[in-house]
Each structure stands twice: as structure tokens, then as C-alpha cells.
A = this chain, B = another copy of it.
């Protein structure tokens, strides 16, 4: 089966929602695991890496939650397919660069994805829309427990799970939430918030993880340490911090609406005006303007326009997704034109933003952490 036949279309992905989806785009947990008897992927010889890959793919594929999964060796995927998986946040950029001897398994509902021979033998992640860190933790814990019955993980009584990079040693867990924080950015509070979160031992990163830019006002908050704390403690601590960040974002939205509504409506109006009328839009500009449109929907300036429309466009306007809809290989310039054509068409029936009557519509409260 080809990847494009397996993957859920973007419009349906955008329909998936979870609690607190207004600000928390997604919740994710990933575990790093290695198995005894095989050198770590970075050290293994080609044949050994392939042998480990086959064995691991077989073991993962046997798990009940992976029935009907999409399984592929990385060398069987086109560069475009790999990029599409990165754009969907299903695999890392690093894994996309791998070839023979590395693989991926993606569950039927796309909530579980296992990268085989990325930096570690196994990088398994659970991904759900909205704010549901305990749920993703339970999902990945089930898969991990199932796998542990047939695989012997490299484990030290003192250190816990051993991993290729010392930053993952211990629990091997990375819990993260993807947050949409346009008001904190507009209100210039974001740097302060990031510093405060960092002081709590958590990392704040851009849209595509480590070392990437915070495009579209999207920030990924995750634990830094994997040693000295149980998985449940990490999940709980991150949940609490995320709940606080949500509160700050909500307060910033309320403050902006009250004190600087013209600034907010100016940003939203311009974003809408450009997206609905431009004939060339870069990927980066699209992400940033769609973020403001999403804020506009949250604030009631675009009554009748579902948030899912923006979320769908945020997926579809990315370079590989855009290329996938065209048989000819597009240049970046041609993509910018097709992207603009898609945006104008998608927004053709969306009326101009209005200034919502005060008081602003009630903001739905984030779930208790």
C-alpha cells in the first residue's frame, strides 16, 4: 500500500479534535528504547542494522494496536513521502534522512508511530489532538509493555533504559504538547513565558522540534530530563505547566481584546485579506497568517468559519503536501502560486472578519490539569 492511500486526508485530520484543542494543538509522548544483542544504530554495521530492523519491525507489527499498520523501510519511501510524514509530525527530520536498515510503523488511526533505527533502535510515539497527556502516556505505555514481553530492552538497574544519547537515559521519555500562542507573541510576553518554563526544567521549541523556528506562533513544550523522575511524575508536571501557559494565553487574549483590540483586529484583518487575495504565498507566510486567522476564529471575528478549515489549510499548504497534489515537480516559486490559489479558493466563501460585539464571546476554559 502506498503512503498516500494509507494516510487520512487532511480535511479529516483537521476534524479530529481533543479537549482544549483551541490552544493545545496536540499531545505527544515518545519513548526511546534499545534492545540487547545489537549495536546501537549509529554504531551498527549495515547488515546488523538490517537484522535488527527486521526483528523489531516484526515485533512491533505483532502488537494488537499495530494491526493494519502502515509499515515501510525508509529506502522504499520517496523523498516527498518522507517529507509528508515530517509535515504531519509523524516522524522526525532525522528519521526522514535515513534509508535502508531503518523503518517506520504507523498505526491505522495514526495515533501510534514507531521509528525503527532512528537514533535508538526504537523511538515510539503516541500522538493525539488536544490536551490529553495522560491519555498519550497510557497509549504508549501499553505499546511499550506489550513489546517488552518479546524484546529484551537494554536496561541498567542504576540508570534505567540506556539510549544512544545520554539526554534520554533513564525513562527515555519525552512528553510534549504543541501550543498555539498567538496572543502571547502579539503581547510580547512570549520570551518571558519561555524563560519561566525553562526555569522549571522544561524545554520550549519551534514547530518541528529541537533547533527549529517558532513558525505560526506554535511552541512545543517538553520535559528536558529523563532521569530521577517517574514517567507519571513527568506527565503530571508537564500537564500542570501547560495548563498555566494556557491560562497565560487566555489572559493575554482577554487583555489584548480589552486594551489593544485594534492591534489584534489589524493583524487578523490583514492576515485574512492577504490569504484570501494573494496570488503568491510562501510556506512560512502561510503558516504565520493562518495562525492569525485561527486566532480570529477563536475571538469570534469569523463567525461560521470552523477552526478545522484553518487546520486543514495548515497541513495542505506545506511544501510536500502541496507537491503531492501535482504530478509535475514544482519549483518553490510555482508552489507559492499554487499555495495562494488553494488559499484563495478555500477562503472564497469566508466573509471578511468582523469586530465581534463586546463583551467578547466566552473563552472555553482549559481542562483542569
Point out residues on A near B: beta carbons under 8 Å: 262-263, 265-266, 269-270, 272-280, 337, 340, 344, 352-353
Contact = CB atoms under 8 A, between A and B. Distances in A.
Can you tell how many copies of this chain the complex includes?
2
B280 A262 contact: yes
Contact of A273 (B263, B265, B278, B280): B278
A53 B273 CA distance: 52
Contact of A274 (B274, B344, B353): B274
26 contacts: A262-B279, A262-B280, A263-B279, A263-B280, A265-B279, A266-B278, A266-B279, A266-B280, A266-B340, A269-B277, A269-B278, A269-B279, A269-B344, A270-B273, A270-B274, A270-B278, A272-B273, A273-B273, A273-B274, A273-B275, A273-B276, A273-B277, A273-B278, A274-B274, A277-B352, A277-B353
A-B pairs, top 6 by smallest CB distance, nearest first, are: A273-B273, A273-B277, A269-B277, A266-B279, A265-B279, A266-B280
Main secondary structure of the interface of A (DSSP, over half): helix
Best-surrounded residue of A262, A266, A279, A337 (most CB of chain B within 10 A): A279
Contacts of A274: 270, 273-274
Contacts of A340: 266
Contacts of A269: 277-279, 344
Contacts of A352: 276-277
Nearest to A276: B273
Contacts of A275: 273
Nearest to A265: B279
A240 to B, nearest CB: 37
A262 B337 contact: yes
A272 B273 CA distance: 7
A349 to B, nearest CB: 11
Contacts of A273: 270, 272-278
Nearest to A333: B262
